[in-house]
Chain A
């Protein structure tokens, strides 16, 4: 496991920083020799002092080479607020698909491939590669076939691709896809305006796709959009979300990602929605996909973790604005999520530094500023 905590580099030391870290490190904080980081196994054993929450990526002199010694055993904290926090959270990186799909600029195929490689290199084990939809609707991903064929698929890493119908599915298979994703809405109006059919019709369509996928032995990921609010209808009934999630699950999806498409959710509405879905879909098959349009994503993720969810979708550098509120932000930034998870002592296998590099890379290519506050802060610390 690689939890960030490598310093930014000797050349990056800000003038104010003085290494007094030693004073505050618990002398008992040691790396457990049983840890095996490279294969992604994780352990939470470190008898650091209780306060020694996590390593401190923001403290540039933080030379925590043995970065395993980070997790304060939060479960030991006599605090009810840390109930049921997962020990490990899988991050599903949607930048190359959901992110780029909603960016104004278009990047060449080679850049997309490079981005995916960098993301995988940072430790992400699921990276949504592209989408096999008509280029008429999503011109930014018209090169889906080339991207999928062009990436060097690492063993143990998943590269799901969106396939809205059988035709997209065939194209995906032909390009070598091993995992596909399907998208249904919890809101009728959104379904009509987004994919031009009712929820029921879309589910029928997806049943064909999933049948075909199962025949080919592919994994299927299901998405539910508008799980809290719809840009047309307003608030969405959680039971509706539960229904769609259940349908997707019954169809054979190995994971259901619940998306707050307009970003309007707050912990209260999120909890209600999750409770509804959790009544029908096993906890470990549920992922959360929050948008940060109203700045609520991290709080929503936190409360989802407290409910036991352990899969979180996010987008490097917050790629992907919100199409319903011009100029507003969309996807939550992976760097910010990773920063919070590591601070909670939750393992992710993600190297924050390498992740920030990937974010930097794509932001430069797109000519847009970094969409992650963590990345911005850590970068600016060095000026």
Chain B
């Protein structure tokens, strides 16, 4: 197994670089007496695949000392701050840090070494073909303030929306969908779009796209100061008719006008395709439909096309053919995936999308936004869960998990609902019961 993987040019950690945060954490952890004792010394797996441990079981070290509790707290804080995660191409202080993952990337085909180390060395994980071609960086597009709040029962007052956007921006999320310029008749939760937009003008360092379903919405958005817009088409006729009251072709024509106006003003446009796997009206959606709509949006000038599994029914079996179709007409780096967790499938769908080459993922803090088609079921995938997985895979996101969790807590308190994020729930509960150990 190992021999095979060495032939494959896995992403390998280069043995030197280490981020300063990782080094600091490594130093802190390495000095803990717990770590040294937890390892099997001398049980190395050489790159030739010979396993010393196979000859005789290595002696088990004695168990952790009484400093384990201190270490545990340190570990938990690190988890919350997600500081020193594995980065592609860097050796990690994976020791003792549970959010470790596959090795870093190396375009050189080094032999991948896998061994258990003593506490001072970094850990180089055996690369494996299943994780070999993952992107180094994934852009997370936070849709909580728009897609999330739009599908929540309660209406959040404007200042709270603005505060949520601000907190999300400071957590490092590069793109935060701010609001939607649709008729308040359809989406009363976002009737204050203009006020929100004007208030967020001062937030820097983040892109704040807004939805504009037609020219009127576009003009209102621009007047309110929007610098980026988003348009929405469906891959399913049935959904298009029931959701925006026109056929797919008609909606494309409508968006063409918006796109022209946007290009004139040099406003970037993000395209969304909904119902890319299944439609609540029409049933399964052929990938060719998705390719058609994605291509139309891309040709119209969208810098990115986000593929949305609106009712959350996708599994890797349906996601892969759909992505293949889309990738045949739109370059993979311009594609984003927007999975819903209604059936609990989103993280595995995101993983398979990363394996296919996608590197932009939409998600919603605290999993805001239920599913309007299955009452009481969940909708958007939680940003915290996505970041947790990406951190564990050593994929950079620029996002501070702790701050996102704080933003999630903030909005959930006001909405008086539980966070829909399992990672956030677990991380906040773990510290609460730490004293029990």
Contacts and interface: CB of A to CB of B under 8 A. Distances in A.
B429 A325 contact: yes
Contacts of A74: 317, 320
B370 to A, nearest CB: 10
B198 interface: no
Contact of B102 (A236, A271, A339, A373): A271
Contact of A343 (B281, B317, B422): B317
A109 B5 CA distance: 50
Contacts of A199: 60
8 contacts: A19-B283, A81-B352, A229-B98, A231-B72, A268-B394, A326-B432, A344-B315, A380-B377
Contact of A62 (B130, B283, B432): B283
Interface string A331-345: 001001001101111
A200 interface: yes
Given A24-B284, A81-B356, A228-B98, A50 B321 contact: yes
A234 interface: yes
B299 interface: no
A303 interface: yes
B131 interface: yes
Interface of A: 16-21, 23-24, 50-54, 56, 58-59, 61-62, 72, 74, 77-83, 187-189, 191-193, 198-200, 228-229, 231-240, 242-243, 246-247, 263-269, 271-272, 275-276, 278-280, 292-296, 298-299, 301-303, 306-307, 322, 324-329, 333, 336, 339-340, 342-345, 372-374, 376-378, 380-381, 383
A299 B350 contact: yes
Contacts of B312: 377
Given A239-B43, A239-B116, A377-B342, A280 B64 contact: no
B1 A268 contact: no
A381 B283 CA distance: 13
A370 to B, nearest CB: 10
B5 A299 contact: no
A374 to B, nearest CB: 5
Contact of B281 (A17, A243, A322): A17
Contacts, number: 331
Contacts of B69: 232
Contacts of A23: 282
B99 interface: yes
A336 B1 contact: no
B316 interface: yes
B34 A72 contact: no
Contacts of A326: 429, 432-433
A293 B57 contact: no
A298 B429 CA distance: 22
Contact of A267 (B57, B96, B101, B375): B101
Contact of B345 (A192, A233, A329, A340): A340
Interface in B352-396: 352, 355-356, 371, 373-378, 382, 385, 388-389, 391-394
A293 B422 contact: yes
A294 B320 contact: no
Given A239-B43, A267-B389, A325-B433, A58 B313 contact: yes
Contact of A345 (B1, B317, B350): B317
A380 B356 contact: no
Nearest to B68: A232
Nearest to B112: A275
B95 to A, nearest CB: 7
A271 B39 CA distance: 19
A376 B394 CA distance: 32
Nearest to A199: B60
A267 B131 contact: yes
Nearest to B345: A340
Given A83-B129, A344-B316, A263 B426 contact: yes
A132 B62 CA distance: 29
Given A189-B63, A189-B68, A237-B116, A54 B317 contact: yes
A53 B321 CA distance: 8
Nearest to B351: A299
Nearest to A263: B426
Nearest to B38: A233
B45 A239 contact: yes
Contact of B283 (A61, A322, A329): A61
Question: Which 5 residue pairs of A and B lie closest in terms of their CB atoms, listed nearest first?
Answer: A268-B101, A343-B315, A266-B392, A188-B63, A295-B422
Interface in B189-235: none
Contacts of B425: 325, 327-329
User: Most chain-B CB neighbours within 10 Å: which of A199, A239, A294, A296?
Assistant: A294
Contacts of A83: 129-130
A374 B130 contact: no
Given A59-B283, A79-B320, A239-B53, A296 B343 contact: no
